[in-house]
Structure formats: structure tokens, C-alpha cells
Amino acid sequence: MSTVQPSKTKDEVVRDFRTSGILDAANEVIAEQGWKDVSMERIAQVAGLSKGTLYLYFKNKESLLQRVFEHALVELETSTTQATQETTVFESRVRAIVATAMEHATKNHALIEILRADPTLIHLAPVQRDLDRYLNSVSKTIAQGTRGTAFRRINARRSARHLLALVRGSLSDGLRESRSQQRQEIDDVVHFFFHGISAGDNS
């Protein structure tokens, strides 16, 4: 009964397993050396495979890396959407955005590279597209939250960029911090997003 209508064949499962193993390895190597210094040899090594095997699953290096970035962004967007829907309070939603991004980035170095906004990376067309979608979704949340409120009339897209800039800034330094420090960092970013350095209510 458990195997009624298997949506994937065994082969597909194996294939997916390998594919994501390679993507994970690539992500790890990106963490080690930055995406520009990634070599197929090293990815294979980390994945516990041989160079040639990578080419059974990916057409070439470029498409492998593209998939790493795509995967990271899609996961981020999915998690973010889900997290923001758990509340209707604007500030909580922003908090969800920040927390989700930070959590994902902690595990997923490819994401940091994207958020770093290296033009030579971002201009890979598909990454461009996926990043855009993510930015749109963040923008929309901000637009909804600020509409008809006391918040200053603000360009939602630009605010989204500011928000992500703050997240990215925190990531640059704070990656190796503890969990409680990370929460602190999130609070700080959210608060800063709402009030800047001026004395807001929760000072």
C-alpha cells in the first residue's frame, strides 16, 4: 500500500540521490574556496566520486554551478514564503525573512555568494531570474506591511534591497557565531530595519 503509484522509479531516486550529493559537495567546496576557485576535481573528491562521474549528472561545470545556485535560491524562497505566512504581523514577517535567510545561509554557502551580489555570478541568466523572484517576494511582503500605515512612504523594492543588504552584512562577519548570538543578530537587523539608529520604542 505504501508503494502505490510510486511517483519516482528506483532509478530516479538513485539519480536524485547522486545529483543532490554532488550539489551538496559543490556547495561545500564553494564554502571552502569561493565559487570562482571551485574545480571539478575537488567537487568530485568531496562527493566521493571521480571527475568523470560528475559529467554523468551535469552537462558541464557551468550548469552544475548554476544548479547549486538555483537550488539554494529556490529553497530560500520556499522557506521564506512559508515562514512569512505563519503570521500577519508585519514585524514578525520581516523577522521571518531575516531569520530564514540567515539560517539558510549558515548551511548554504552558495547562498552567501549570491547575496554578495558578485556581478559575474548574478549575470548568469538563470540565477538572475531566480534572485529576481526572491526579491519580488520580499518586496511584496514589505509593500503589504507598509501600505496604509504610519511607515513612511517608501519604495518597497528599495527597502527590500536595504533589508537584504543588512542581512548580507551580518552574514559576512557573523557566520561562526552561536545560536543565541545569531538570534541577537536577527533582532538587531530587524530593529535596525524599522528604526535605523534612532531611539525607537524598544531601544
Which residues of this protein are in contact with its own copies, per CB under 8 A? 33-34, 36-37, 116-120, 142, 146, 150-154, 158-159, 161-162, 164-166, 168-170, 172-173, 188-189, 191-200, 203
Q: For residue 15, state whether it binds DNA (rule: CB under 7 A).
A: yes
- Position among 1, 3, 11, 152 found at the interface with DNA (CB under 7 A): 11
Q: How far is CA 193 from CA 80, 127, 186, 203, in A?
A: 17, 26, 10, 13
- Position among 20, 31, 34, 40 found at the interface with DNA (CB under 7 A): 40
Q: What is the DSSP letter of 36?
A: G
Q: Are 168 and 115 in contact (CB under 8 A)?
A: yes
In sequence order, which residues have a C-beta less than 8 Å from that of residue 143 and are 6 or more positions away? 156
Tell which residue, 43, 52, 142, has the closest CA to residue 91: 142
Question: Residue 124 region, left (φ>0) first, then alpha (ψ -120 to 50), else beta?
Answer: beta
Q: How far is CA 68 from CA 71, 109, 172, 173, in A?
A: 5, 10, 20, 23
Q: How far is the CB of 44 from its own copies (least distance, A)?
A: 16
Q: How far is the CB of 73 from DNA (least distance, A)?
A: 22
- Choose the contact partner of 181 out of DNA, its own copies, none; CB within 5 to 8 A by kind: none
- Choose the contact partner of 134 out of DNA, its own copies, none; CB within 5 to 8 A by kind: none
Find the distance separating the first CA and the last CA of the chain, reported in whole Å.
58
Q: How far is the CB of 37 from its own copies (least distance, A)?
A: 7
Q: For residue 195, state whether it binds DNA (rule: CB under 7 A).
A: no
What phi, psi does 143 have (nearest 5°)?
Answer: -60, -45
Q: How far is the CB of 184 from its own copies (least distance, A)?
A: 10
- Choose the contact partner of 140 out of its own copies, DNA, none; CB within 5 to 8 A by kind: none
State which of positions 91-110 bind DNA (CB under 7 A).
none
Q: For residue 61, state whether it binds DNA (rule: CB under 7 A).
A: yes
